[in-house]
């Protein structure tokens, strides 16, 4: 396999890993997202070591298509992670408000709760 074909193949695998991360997020499989991220880092290091040879225009176009697919998928992943982060911030603030309200409420209660029933 020519070097350019290896580069195109590597970028296609990279795009597939990003897509797999998005699918893992859909399943709330956060451990898988991290594992796939590690695989992306390894593949990125592999790609850095690849060199292009004098390739034909069709192969170079394929590499460009794969790079665009990677950029698009990575943009979707980053946007999704940012939305999740924002949701987490909102949820954490809501829990903090409830915790403070419950703490204030419980401090205002004299002693243990009791029911006064007279027959």
Which range marks the domain in which residue 8 is found?
3-95
Q: Is residue 13 part of a domain?
A: yes
| DSSP summary character for residue 49 | T
pLDDT band for 112, please (50, 70, 90 cuts). Answer: low
Q: Is residue 109 part of a domain?
A: no
| DSSP summary character for residue 115 | -
- Global pTM? 0.72
Q: Is residue 107 part of a domain?
A: no
Q: Is residue 108 part of a domain?
A: no
The pLDDT tens digits of the residues spanning 40-95 come to: 999 999 999 888 776 788 888 988 999 999 999 999 999 999 999 999 998 888 88
Number of domains in the chain: 1
**Distances in Å between the alpha carbon of 11 and those of 48, 81, 100?**
11, 22, 50
**Element at 26 (helix H, strand E):** helix 3-26
Q: Is residue 76 part of a domain?
A: yes
């Amino acid at each position: 396999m020519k070097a350019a074909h290896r580069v195109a193949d590597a970028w296609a695998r990279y795009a597939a890993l990003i897509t797999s991360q998005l699918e893992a997020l859909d399943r709330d499989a956060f451990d898988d997202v991290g594992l796939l991220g590690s695989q992306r880092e390894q593949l990125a290091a592999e790609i850095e070591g690849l060199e292009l040879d004098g390739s034909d225009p069709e192969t170079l176009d394929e590499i460009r298509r794969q790079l665009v697919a990677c950029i698009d998928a990575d943009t979707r992943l980053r946007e999704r992670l940012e939305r999740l982060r924002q949701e987490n911030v909102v949820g954490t603030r809501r829990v903090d408000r409830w915790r403070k309200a419950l703490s204030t409420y419980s401090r205002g209660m004299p002693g243990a709760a009791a029911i006064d029933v007279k027959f």
